[in-house]
A and B are shown apart, each in its own frame.
Chain A
Amino acid sequence: MTTVSLDAARTALSDACGEVTDATPADAVDGVPAALVARPGSTEETAAVLRAAAAQGLTVVPRGRGTKLTWGRPPESADVVLDLSRMNRVLDHAAGDLIVDTEAGALLSDVQQTVGSAGQRLALDEPVAGGTVGGMLATNASGPGRVAVGTARDLLIGVTVVRADGVIAKAGGRVVKNVAGYDLGKLVIGSFGTLVVVTRAVFRLHPVPAARRFVSVPFGTAEDASRLVQSVVHAQVVPAAVEVEWRVDGAGTVVVLLEGTAAGVEARAGTTRRLLGAGAEAAETAPPGWGVLPWTDEPGATGLKLTCALSGVAPVLAAVQRAAADAGVALTVRGSGAAGVLYAALGGDASTEAVADVVARTRAVCTEHGGALVVLDGPPAVKAALDTWGPVPAIDLMRRVKEQFDPERRLAPGRFVGGI
């Protein structure tokens, strides 16, 4: 609570929104205690809460189900947790137009269930189970399927947001093809709640494929992994995903997902097995851990996101493995070799210094290959000691965008790049 009393804030927020409660320790945001929790039921109520918060000078951290609140840096302050879980309706599934219009607090799994009844899907993986549409957008979460259809930025076609000053605005619309006005949806994706609060989103959908096949092959070295990935991406089998996994015992697997018609998938799986060579096997079900972040269920682990150009997959894999081995840190890697997005888990018993060493050495190689390393998740002490976001080009321009949208720095202050 920065400038006003808790009672005054509670009163003001309660006027704006029917459901305001005192925060409990469980409402802390990445270790930062919150004072109040507001649960608006509509975009208008969200706007009223934000106006009241603005009038009170309160900081606000938006939250869906809180599954990724430890990603990024902890906020400097969290006077109000703006909980969107009441706004959980899937508003409209226009199956004929292959779109879905949903409130931001809706569970991604509920959206999938609704559109799935018409044989459709929102082609976004859920690397952390149990999250909301808004949380997925705020963190730009993605999974193996990004190779075929991309990420949230390729699927979001309309968005309704509430600004820090309580003004409601929308961009895009309900049609897939639309170039009228700025694409604010893209700006909001991955902004970690620091620009606006998303209350509603419209996505394009895809048909659920009739058949899927997973073709897996073991690999030994980083160079082997890269060679296998390259052999698949330059072929014409049109993979839906090409995952690289390096388990903690050093065993590696490349898994290619093929989606399509039964006959088509059968033929493409055959071609893919030939491409991957000896030891390649096809299965109809996903291997264990498919699309799950490697630090899931690893208490105290540090989660890294490594990105690079495709030609950088081998050097990045090699670098992180060498750095982890040198520092004596247990390492698991899983991610998309065909997208150049790998996730690494560093064992929970590693010292902060050891983690810092792995991060620094690996980051240099990611950067050299056109990418970046972000410390996405980890214990507070480890994150506090590290430059979690790393160097960010165009940071000055980003600060100016923040300054325009949230000049008082009240939305999730400090969670994002460069202390935004």
Chain B
Amino acid sequence: MSGTHGTQTTAGPVLGNTPPEATSATGEAGDNAAGIEAVGRVAREVLPETGVIADPTQLRTYECDGLAHYRVTPALVVLPETTEQLAAVVKACAEHGVPFVARGSGTGLSGGALPRADGVLLVTSRMRTIREIRRADQRAIVEPGVINLDVTRAATGEGYYYAPDPSSQQICSIGGNLAENSGGAHCLKYGFTSNHVLGTELITPQGDVVQLGGLAPDSPGYDLLGTVVGSEGTLGIATTATVRLVRLPEEVRTLLVGFYSTDDAGAATSAIIGSGVLPAAIEMMDALAIEAAEAAVHCNYPDGAGAVLVIELDGAAAEVEHEYALVERFCQENGAFELRLAIDATERALIWRGRKSAFAAVGRISPDYIVQDGVIPRTALPEVLRAIAELSSSSGVRVANVFHAGDGNLHPLVLFDGEKEGATEAAEEVSGAILDLCITHGGAITGEHGVGVDKAAYMPKMFTDDDLDTMQLVRCAFDPGNISNPGKVFPTPRLCGEVPGKRKKAHPLVEAGLADAF
């Protein structure tokens, strides 16, 4: 979610007893060297010299994404410029059984673009053309390396914007957004990437180019597009995205509201949503997160606040006017002691700066931290926040809370000093316990950062073997060779040769003489 977090340089923990470098998730350097060489040959044939990287020092610059504590040096890096080049390299990977990992800007926070030591990293950053802004159709067609915010920039002149806005939107790519089904502060009202990508040209893991969805909705057939978006690069690589452009709202109002406690702020949030008002965003920060943001960007949030809400209302002016009156009342009824309305774009930016800088800002008050991304039903917010506070006080591990209050997506920041003995383990334990809290409250282990390599081990806590096995049927349809970002999302791979439920012998009734097969 936050690129600022992703690009800052805390050392970060090595999670768990077994670093992923040493597991099957990332492969071993030197495996299938002949295959890598063959893929490299194809890549050099179809790409200019600068598009293929095999030099060990240069390779190392691609060793991690935004989750910097997982590091694996890829065997080869390829930077294609066209669909044809990319498809040729993928085809070569399929032919030689070489795993590949696609990467956009590398801002992901779950290690979804962590390379394979025995594989190829396919970087889409040179596929960066906005092909069409189609105002009449309210669509844009863009290449995967296009930066999220650049779509909005290209459409603003026409009165439009691209709604999904992860905090890293200044640097993250549409292809990465598509792979991760990225969210953002405004998805409370406008939905996620999956609601805004209407079509894609996909290179399948076998190197075929297929079109899924397009300019018109409801393409006949299975909604493969809906399955591909958010599949974290395990079903292929998107080479274009047809995205929805949303009309700029007539009016936007951004408020900053100070409360004495997170309980009060949570109650105000519930009152607002319960009344039928759907703000574009409701974000909450607790005292520790505010302290960090103040230290970093001097956002001048209300003095003495135990929590702040950043609330944004947008839409037709007549509606926003009415909603604002309601929001103001609900905040006051729930103990708000200060309410500031941004009067212009500068003030709005200042309010958002505190929120958007929060992850990186935590680096000011702690040498290391883990960003969690759990989701809970919004009504469980007060209870879960209290439980997190108890976890924190009983373990002595500080936790700062920054989150999308409107949809219950928590980003607890678990603070620690990796230099202190046992601190890393204690932080990991608290981090894991927070995820357990989310699961026991009927929530999810990730709301927008993805499973990647980081949370694959948690998947069995949320899903049964049958659930995971069923998801992997899709994987086997797209990627029978298990070469497209293998080791991510699922804790254990499925062998695609097994066909479930297929009868291997004669029908039991036929065998028993009860029936005849025609």
Contacts and interface: CB of A to CB of B under 8 A. Distances in A.
Interface string B193-224: 01100000000100010111011111111111
6 contacts: A96-B377, A175-B444, A181-B468, A400-B477, A401-B222, A401-B473
Contact of A307 (B183, B218, B278): B218
B249 to A, nearest CB: 7
B276 A207 contact: yes
A177 B374 CA distance: 9
B347 interface: no
A173 B216 contact: no
A393 interface: yes
A247 B489 CA distance: 51
B22 interface: no
B507 A56 contact: yes
A169 B470 contact: yes
Contacts of B515: 3-5, 8
B40 interface: no
A395 B319 contact: no
Given A98-B273, A179-B180, A184-B471, A164 B226 contact: no
Contacts of A153: 194, 223, 226
B222 A398 contact: yes
Contacts, number: 320
A97 interface: yes
B409 A96 contact: no
Interface residues of A, number: 106
Interface stretch (A18-26, A214-222, A283-291, A309-317): A309-317
A236 B248 contact: yes
B202 to A, nearest CB: 8
Nearest to B215: A370
Contact of B318 (A175, A268, A370): A268
Interface stretch (A109-117, A125-133, A256-264, A324-332): A256-264
B215 A390 contact: no
Which are the 7 A-B pairs with shortest beta-carbon distances?
A165-B501, A186-B226, A370-B215, A207-B276, A371-B216, A169-B470, A267-B318
Interface stretch (A27-35, A273-281, A402-410): A402-410
Interface string B442-457: 1111111111000100
A378 B455 CA distance: 49
Interface in B445-493: 445-451, 455, 459, 462-464, 466-471, 473-478, 489
B156 to A, nearest CB: 14
Interface string A51-79: 00011110000000000000000000000
A206 B509 CA distance: 51
Interface residues on B, range: 35 or more
B411 to A, nearest CB: 12
Nearest to A194: B222
Interface in A97-121: 97-99, 119
Interface in A171-194: 171, 173-184, 186-187, 189-191
Interface string A360-404: 000000100111101000000000000001101111111011011
B514 interface: yes
Contact of B224 (A238, A264, A394): A394
Contacts of B459: 180-181
A339 B217 contact: yes
B222 A170 contact: no
Contacts of B442: 173-175
Interface of B: 134-139, 159, 180-181, 183, 187, 191-192, 194-195, 204, 208, 210-212, 214-227, 229-231, 247-250, 270, 273-276, 278, 315-319, 321-323, 375-379, 404, 407-409, 442-451, 455, 459, 462-464, 466-471, 473-478, 489, 499-503, 507-510, 514-515, 517-518
B207 to A, nearest CB: 13
A248 interface: no
A177 B270 contact: no
A71 B135 CA distance: 34
B216 A3 contact: no
Interface centre among A151, A165, A167 (most CB of B within 10 A): A167
B324 to A, nearest CB: 11
A308 interface: yes
B223 A394 contact: no
A223 interface: no
Contacts of A405: 473
A285 to B, nearest CB: 21
B407 A167 contact: no
A238 to B, nearest CB: 5
A184 B227 contact: yes
A392 B468 CA distance: 29
Interface in A318-347: 339-341
Given A181-B451, A186-B226, A54 B247 contact: no
B274 A190 contact: no
Interface string A135-154: 00000101000100011011
Nearest to A390: B220
A187 B222 contact: yes
B226 A393 contact: no
A186 B187 CA distance: 18
B450 A177 contact: no
A180 B462 contact: yes
Contact of A169 (B376, B443, B469): B469
A94 interface: yes
Contact of B477 (A175, A230, A403): A403
A372 B220 contact: yes
Given A263-B322, A394-B221, A175 B473 contact: no
Given A177-B404, A178-B447, A180-B451, A401 B216 contact: no
B444 A177 contact: yes
A54 B501 contact: yes
A167 B377 CA distance: 28
B518 A311 contact: no
A107 to B, nearest CB: 23
Nearest to B407: A177
Contacts of A237: 316
A169 B466 contact: yes
A212 interface: no
A341 B204 CA distance: 29
A184 B136 CA distance: 32
Contacts of A173: 442-444, 462
Contact of B379 (A57, A94, A189, A234): A94
A415 interface: no
Nearest to A237: B316
Given A236-B316, A261-B322, A310 B137 contact: yes
A54 B376 CA distance: 38
Contacts of A372: 216, 219-220
A8 B509 contact: yes
